[in-house]
Structure 1
Amino acid sequence: MLFFCLLVLDSFTRCFKSNPPEPWNWNVYLFPLWCCGLVIRYLIIFPIRILVLTLGWIIFLSFFIPVHCLLKGNDDLRKKIERCLVEMMCSFFVASWTGVVKYHGPRPSVRPKQVFVANHTSMIDFIILEQMTAFAVIMQKHPGWVGLLQSTILESVGCIWFNRTEAKDREIVARKLREHVQGANNNPLLIFPEGTCVNNHYTVMFKKGAFELGCTVCPVAIKYNKIFVDAFWNSRQQSFTTHLLQLMTSWAVVCDVWYLEPQNLKPGETSIEFAERVRAIISHRAGLKMVPWDGYLKYSRPSPKHRESKQQNFAQSVLRRLEEK
């Protein structure tokens, strides 16, 4: 019984574990090269990247603030310019990591009654996709400077925020989703149906909300190459600021993005089956392993009494089967 419980626990927790690369500076010949790389990354490349990101913010805010304040009477023009500015700022972010991103498939178009869904490794997934197309994303509300950007700049592209600890937020978000996909001029809607960051080796269960909207679902597969840095954001162990610093002090962020064939609900297919079919398409394209876990379990731990009760029930069922034999 203990072995079974440990096996299940390991199968779940390994989806959310950071897997640092094995050290290669293990002998006297390689250690000097590692030290040279450390000096180059932290004392040369990192300051240049800080300068690039600072320049990006100066350019962005110099245009965004006047456009947002002075064009309130012309919403169509304002939204169009703000979309371009958000895409530009995301490009500066990617440049600050020396991002090498390969996009495969046709660029998303603005059409009503469609939603894009993607596997989720880090909040930078949004930035990488946003630099090509100004998506309106569904995202957990964050504190600090990230929350400030969410409530000011990102709301200009129609992003929708929620708090997973508030049950009433689910109904509000569901209503906003339906309203958004009906709008002809709204930005394409992007959803990460796993609901949490997974370490880019697995995909956990997709929430069915994106598949109950009665619209076309466009799968997007994202796969990061760990040759230079592990792009997985382990939010339980590090802040997003620390995660960004890790990316900015690495050699590069390398990844592939595939825009896959749009999918529609088949006759007789449930929303859960539809979600699993799309998850299989994304997992196959990105080379990820599908596991049957709910990602929200990452944020909740069962009480010891509940765990012991389940263990006792399982042990009793095993003993009964052994006695019958």
Structure 2
Amino acid sequence: MAGMESTSAEMDLDRPNLEEYLPSDSIHGSGSPKNLHLRDLLDISPTLTEAAGAIVDDSFTRCFKSNSPEPWNWNIYLFPLWCTGVVVRYGILFPLRLLTLLFGWIIFWAGFIPAHILLKGQEKLRRKIERKLVEMMCSFFVASWTGVVKYHGPRPSMRPHQVFVANHTSMIDFIILEQMTAFAVIMQKHPGWVGFIQKTILESVGCIWFNRTESKDREVVARKLREHVQGVDNNPLLIFPEGTCVNNQYTVMFKKGAFELGCAVCPIAIKYNKIFVDAFWNSKKQSFTMHLLRLMTSWAVVCDVWYLEPQYLQPGETAIEFAERVRDMIATRAGLKKVPWDGYLKYFRPSPKLTEKKQQIFAEDVLRRLEK
């Protein structure tokens, strides 16, 4: 018994003395204020409520969540049909689509290499041929998914002082838009064969690359953007202002860079039909090669593209307000839900300043309760 009492006493000594954190008047006063202060000190229900709400209603994570197809081969009648579909998609459609894509690459390189080497002195003709070849190759890519794309509105034209902005679901957004018009796109640098295509092919249509982690790249890109929109013969500039792929159900905040160029902003809304395949590319979980493989083994990629009316900065309107107005147009047309999140949080941890601010708010709340 003595040993147990000794252990209990040691445990009591190890416990924090909450009274040390209370004002002296609350300790030496009546019992009621002391109990009130202790209760208020330990009452973290507002913080818990906020935390629970963030878990239950996590609109940020939902923006980047892939929708798994619901299984429908759950009984003896449907299972044979499902097996037949797998055989058709993987045994017949995929080989044919792969051959189509390889055939497209053969034609492309047969035209691109001679034009790139032999027509160096004739820039205008070379750029025109390379532009048509890029559009053709993108058409082969779309054909390799059995892409069913419906375009609405006037086709973009080559004019100075304009920039096109679109919501972003996958890198195939660029391919779908590029098969109609040879855009010069602003894109993240990628490794592997995608990076090779960026350096050798897409630079011929004026594409601009950047790295999210390099602050110097942002300054260079901003300068190149301003120079590009001023050019008369440059391909139309395409920007995905969300800065990351979103699952085509939501739209995150638009970066304001595309809306500070002092030119017309032409919105493009892209909406995928998920009846056959979810076109969202979760780059943190899947390589682009595997993403293409999934598309090529699906039944079809179905989507609608709307070219909306050009928009201009209104008097007294800031670039951020302009970006939100354009985002609202795209979200309304494509049926997307707007959320007030920065898509770059997908790649970076929250700023220490944000964490410290939350801690400060909590500390001030505790002190305010103690001072009552």
TM over 0.5: yes
Distance 1:148 1:208 in 2: 29
Aligned-pair CA distance for 1:4 = 2.1
1:167 aligns with 2:210: no
Count residues in correspondence.
324
Please report the TM-score for the alignment, with normalisation by the length of structure 1. 0.95
Counterpart of 2:30 in structure 1 is none
C-alpha RMSD of matched pairs (Å): 1.8
- 20-29 or 155-164: bigger deviation: 20-29
Counterpart of 2:297 in structure 1 is 249
Distance 1:213 1:122, change over 3 A: same
Distance 1:149 1:169 in 2: 20
Counterpart of 2:54 in structure 1 is 8
- 220, 224, 232: which one pairs with 1:184? 232
Aligned-pair CA distance for 1:301 = 1.9
- Please show how residues 62-77 of structure 1 align to structure 2 within 5 Å: 62-77=110-125
Distance 2:146 2:158 in 1: 29
- 166, 169, 176: which one pairs with 1:121? 169
Counterpart of 2:31 in structure 1 is none
> CA-to-partner distance for each residue in 1:48-103, whole Å, 9 max, x for gaps?
00000000000000000001110000000000111100000000000000000000
1:233 aligns with 2:281: yes
1:298 aligns with 2:327: no
Counterpart of 1:111 in structure 2 is 159
Distance 2:257 2:324 in 1: 12
Distance 1:324 1:91, change over 3 A: farther
Distance 2:53 2:97 in 1: 43
Distance 2:237 2:48 in 1: 44
Distance 2:296 2:82 in 1: 17
Aligned-pair CA distance for 1:8 = 3.1
Q: Can you give the 5+ residue segments of structure 1 that lack an aligned partner in the other structure?
A: none
> CA-to-partner distance for each residue in 1:143-186, whole Å, 9 max, x for gaps?
00000000000000000000011000000000000000000000
Q: Aligned with 1:16: secondary structure?
A: coil
> CA-to-partner distance for each residue in 1:250-295, whole Å, 9 max, x for gaps?
0000000000000000000000000000000000000000000000
Counterpart of 2:180 in structure 1 is 132
- 245, 261, 279: which one pairs with 2:309? 261
Q: Aligned with 2:243: secondary structure?
A: coil
Instruction: Say which one has the larger Rg.
Output: 2
Distance 1:324 1:279 in 2: 45
Counterpart of 2:38 in structure 1 is none
Counterpart of 2:190 in structure 1 is 142
Letter in 2 for 1:16: F
1:276 aligns with 2:321: no
> CA-to-partner distance for each residue in 1:284-324, whole Å, 9 max, x for gaps?
00000000000000001248x87875554444455567789
Letter in 1 for 2:280: F
Distance 1:101 1:160 in 2: 26
